[in-house]
Amino acid sequence: MNNSPENPQAKITVRDLTMAYDSFVVMRDLNFEVAEKDIFIIMGGSGCGKSTLLRHLIGLLEPAQGNVFYGNENFTAAGPLERVKFIRRFGVMYQSGALWSSMTLAENIAMPLEENTELAPKAIRDLVSYKLSLVGLSGYEDYYPAQISGGMNKRAGIARAMALDPDILFLDEPGAGLDPLSSRRLDDLILRLRDSLGSTVVIVTHELSSIFAIANNSIFLDTATRTQGAVGNPTELRDHSENPAVRLFLRRGEKSEPPSIPMS
């Protein structure tokens, strides 16, 4: 049984991970590493198990086989109490937003701050409006999730995930449902957060433009083979991957020339 990652430098190491719901195997034999300050993309067709992988990384689901390491510590083998100390460093945005519907946006973001820090109420208020400003929602502090639009819910979910300046940010399809400008600002935001706070970011997304703009590493989950199709920098995968499914995915199904991606 291997109980340490091969490369303890890596932020997240996944070894021989098999994910299953009871007897239904979603993906098998996943092996990859996420380095410190990576912007790591999980991509693949709809229903291939991206959200499932994310839920394994944050401990909401248990691997059928294999291990997840953070640094050189085994997260999968850790008990519930030890896990809390990992989980404190995570910020997570769920695919459906998952805002607490009986709290206002401000309360949604303030709650983790109130429960986990000693900050004064004024400081918390400032932080809350700063986080909402970052996602372009300043002024909506006192709205309930049901009173704002779908895309706004998504952005508020991102603001909540960032509440504690997490060490590792997990975002499940943050760009879905956003207009091109907001989506572009979101890319900027993710890069800025990485640069200023040194966060590592793991993102599930299909938005090719944002994949090429921000990612420096990625994994492609292949539905056909039920395992990883490729791991690496998405631009290189698009141009040089040996797996045709990966190249096809990254070229939106166009067989020959790569699409011209405007450089930012």
Partner 1 sequence: MPAKESSSPLARWTRDGGQMVLELSGDWRRGGGTADIQGEAPDEAPARYDTDELGDFDSTLPAFILSHLRSVAKPGDDAKPPLDGLPPDLRGLMELALAVPEEVEARQTPAEFSEIKKLGKTSINVWASVLSVAEFTGQSVLALGRFVTGRARFRARDFWVIVQECGAQALPIVSLISFLVGLILAFVGNVQLANFGASLYVADLVGIAMFREMGVMMTAIIMSGRTGAAFAAHLGSMKANQEIDALKTFGFDPFDFLVLPRLLALVLMLPLLTLYANAVGIFAGMLVGAAVGIPPVLYWNETVATIGLTMASLGVFKSVFFGAVIAMSGCLQGMHAGNSSASVGEATTRAVVASITAIIILDSGFAAIFTVLDI
Ligand X SMILES: Nc1ncnc2c1ncn2[C@@H]1O[C@H](COP(=O)(O)OP(=O)(O)OP(=O)(O)O)[C@@H](O)[C@H]1O
Residue 256 interacts with ligand X (CB under 6 A)?
no
Which residue, chain included where needed, has tokens 């992988």? 53
Residue 101 interacts with partner 1 (CB under 8 A)?
yes
- Would you mind telling me the total number of residues written for the chain in this entry? 264
Using CB under 6 A as the binding criterion, the count of chain residues that bind ligand X stands at 12
Using CB under 8 A as the binding criterion, the count of chain residues that bind partner 1 stands at 37
Strands of the 12-21 sheet, one edge to the other: 24-34, 12-21, 65-70, 73-74
CA distances from 233 to 59, 131, 192, 240 (A): 26, 30, 19, 10
Residue 52 interacts with ligand X (CB under 6 A)?
yes
* Distance (Å, whole) CA 153 – CA 177: 10
Residue 47 interacts with ligand X (CB under 6 A)?
yes
Q: Give the shortest CB-50-to-Mg ion separation in angstroms.
A: 5
Single out the segment in contact with partner 1 by CB under 8 A; choices: 22-30, 44-52, 83-91, 118-126.
118-126
Single out the segment in contact with ligand X by CB under 6 A; choices: 6-14, 45-53, 114-122, 209-217.
45-53
Residue 229 interacts with ligand X (CB under 6 A)?
no
Pattern 69-98, Mg ion, x by CB under 5 A: --------------------------x---
* Distance (Å, whole) CA 34 – CA 13: 6
Q: Give the shortest CB-169-to-Mg ion separation in angstroms.
A: 17
* Distance (Å, whole) CA 108 – CA 127: 12
Residue 26 interacts with ligand X (CB under 6 A)?
yes
Is residue 158 within 8 Å of 93, Cβ to Cβ?
yes
- Tell me which of ligand X, partner 1, Mg ion, none is bound by residue 119, counting a contact when its beta carbon lies within the kind-specific cut-off of 5 to 8 angstroms: partner 1
Q: Give the shortest CB-96-to-partner 1 separation in angstroms.
A: 10
Of 51, 104, 153, 218, the residue at the interface with ligand X (CB under 6 A) is 51
* Distance (Å, whole) CA 182 – CA 192: 15
Q: Give the shortest CB-104-to-partner 1 separation in angstroms.
A: 9
* Distance (Å, whole) CA 141 – CA 82: 34
- Tell me which of partner 1, Mg ion, ligand X, none is bound by residue 205, counting a contact when its beta carbon lies within the kind-specific cut-off of 5 to 8 angstroms: none
* Distance (Å, whole) CA 118 – CA 93: 24
- Tell me which of partner 1, ligand X, Mg ion, none is bound by residue 197, counting a contact when its beta carbon lies within the kind-specific cut-off of 5 to 8 angstroms: partner 1
* Token output for 85: 């100390």
Produce one character per residue of 33-46: b if its CB has 16 or more CB atoms within 10 Å, e if not. Answer: bbeeebbbbbbbee
Residue 51 interacts with Mg ion (CB under 5 A)?
yes
Q: Give the shortest CB-132-to-partner 1 separation in angstroms.
A: 9
* Distance (Å, whole) CA 256 – CA 1: 44
User: Residues interacting with Mg ion, by CB under 5 A?
Assistant: 51, 95
